[in-house]
Structure 1
């Protein structure tokens, strides 16, 4: 009975509660003496305090009580504190100290699942849209946007750390009309990471075998690339699309490529990178995060000699920006691709 009464105290919206309201908690198997002893225990343990001005009943029990919210919430706070020590360090549970036990119990299973995801995967290193991140964490692509997930993630100060993009911007690309209107079976597309490279290549688009030149804009491409066929009006499932990627030769560029490879089966535009390796690298990328799996996958496209050059470059905190290739070099390489 004590647990039942405490649960009523926990959800009470007012700071006081009447004896008659507590009496409703008792069921037919409880005697009034049992009920009276329970109320007295709650008084003794500080969960409630008698409002003396309201008098007592025939059994000597106060007619109303002031709820001692701090004492009532103490077990809940201790439970939350205990869980805080167990979950991944980026999860912050402090906001639940002021929540009701009902809210805590409703949302605790979600926090457990979030913790399991983080313990296994850590914080994401790449950006994606909310639907994909929702599916990764909960196996439910609608949880974040439509089922209250965003509010929970914000409450535990995690939403901004999950690299979730807002609604994707439209995909930015230039079109080769000769290829778009040729009713091809396979359409080829080239993504370049930076604006300068995009501007350097756009004039030669019509002389290539490619239908589009796409401006990737760093990680933005990760959430907007799925709009390509719709924006082109080439949604026929019989049409095939080969998408190539050329980015900076650094840890960030490799991670972007690998993400696109896993998600869209994007092809590495290897010939551009091979040309980059024929010149000195730049220095100054000490703080980029290395994705071991992505780098290992990237290296397997190159000869042993080139692999060693790339490895040595990274050991010296080096990198190759796309801009290391001149406009003429970019044009020549692209015109000879596939």
Structure 2
């Protein structure tokens, strides 16, 4: 890395308004940077207006007489950052897109650049993959670290540079925890009907409904395990390989900010309808108080409420607004089973 570039990146990462000459010199401790080259780089940054000399701090005697202290001109530094992005982009593999970095803080580019350059070297030698691979395998291929994509921010970076789809990465999630109803599956196979799937947030509800799964019209009962469903749902097509069927998913979770957020995030992967009959039964009970600490998920709530009648929307808003919530455990095992097996449930599904 050139001396001038290294100084600019250091200044871009920092938040201080001024920087001392000794501080800049320490960047090159133990390196082979020539003192003359360092001095010329600093002088060049001063000449371009990135560094503004603090006159009261004085200057060195030896030419090019650098100031002992500089103010950092962030606007000029940003302009330099933009020029650098344009220059770097010209040399990268064409699949790597840097458009977003022109709007994001420079710190994001500085943090991502070493990884981008490493990935660029791999793509220039091997090209884009023709076959899909699990995330750890692809991660090791790109960076030499099998955990980089899943655990060290690699997925987010690959999405920032618009490489995620092109790299054919298979997410590695925990297996989806589901129970299968053979009777419903057989019916779907024989008359080409749709497959219905119910996801429940908590283990208690899963265990309560499991004994009556075989008598239901549902093909599967899925244990969401709280937040895990947002990642595990990607495994569904592999664990339930029926691509020629119409799959309809319904979700029942705690009626609180967190439960609604989970439904909303999981629904970003595939259409996921709230299991309204269960929620309606919860609303018939008095709600509990104790979730004041949960942060409202405004977008999730706005998407959730329209599935309910206006009176119920008001109930939900009042409940959540007062720090209340309705856990799934509001409904007893008997109530859960009766609701799931009632004709009203199937009538509601047919109306959707």
- Which residue of the partner structure matches residue 186 of structure 1? 194
Report whether the alignment pairs 1:286 with 2:303: no
- Which residue of the partner structure matches residue 141 of structure 1? 164
1:1-338 counterparts in 2 under 5 A? 14=31, 17=34, 41-42=63-64, 44-45=65-66, 78=72, 82=74, 114-115=104-105, 133-134=156-157, 137-141=160-164, 167-182=172-187, 183=189, 184-234=192-242, 236=243, 238-336=244-342, 337-338=345-346
- Which residue of the partner structure matches residue 127 of structure 2? none
Question: Once the 2 structures are TM-superposed, how far is the Cα of residue 323 of structure 1 from its aligned partner?
Answer: 0.7
Query: TM-score, with normalisation over the residues of structure 2?
Result: 0.57
Matched positions, count: 242
Distance 2:158 2:4 in 1: 38
Q: 1:3 to 1:186 in 2, by over 3 A?
A: closer
Q: 1:287 to 1:187 in 2, by over 3 A?
A: same
Distance 1:289 1:143 in 2: 36
Question: Once the 2 structures are TM-superposed, how far is the Cα of residue 227 of structure 1 from its aligned partner?
Answer: 1.2
Query: TM-score, with normalisation over the residues of structure 1?
Result: 0.59
Distance 2:241 2:165 in 1: 27
Distance 2:321 2:272 in 1: 27
Question: Once the 2 structures are TM-superposed, how far is the Cα of residue 257 of structure 1 from its aligned partner?
Answer: 1.1
Question: Once the 2 structures are TM-superposed, how far is the Cα of residue 11 of structure 1 from its aligned partner?
Answer: 7.4
Matched residue SS, 2:286:
coil
The answer for unaligned runs of 5 or more in structure 2 is 9-24, 40-60, 79-83, 90-97, 109-149, 347-352
Q: 1:204 to 1:318 in 2, by over 3 A?
A: same
- Which residue of the partner structure matches residue 25 of structure 1? none
Q: Deviations over 1:239-260 (max 9, x none)?
A: 1100100000001111111222
Structure 1 segments of 4 or more deviating over 3 A?
Answer: 9-20, 105-116, 128-140, 142-146
Q: 1:305 to 1:140 in 2, by over 3 A?
A: same
- Which residue of the partner structure matches residue 113 of structure 2? none
Note if contact 1:173-1:212 (Cα within 8 Å) is conserved in structure 2.
yes
Q: Deviations over 1:150-177 (max 9, x none)?
A: xxxxxxxxxxxxxxxx942111111111
Q: Deviations over 1:87-144 (max 9, x none)?
A: xxxxxxxxxxxxxxx9xx979987655549x9xxxxxxxxx99787456644332799
Distance 2:162 2:33 in 1: 43
Note if contact 1:187-1:241 (Cα within 8 Å) is conserved in structure 2.
yes
The answer for unaligned runs of 5 or more in structure 1 is 23-38, 47-70, 87-101, 119-127, 147-165
Distance 2:161 2:212 in 1: 45
Distance 2:196 2:220 in 1: 7
Note if contact 1:173-1:213 (Cα within 8 Å) is conserved in structure 2.
yes
Q: Deviations over 1:5-37 (max 9, x none)?
A: x99x987963564889x9xxxxxxxxxxxxxxx
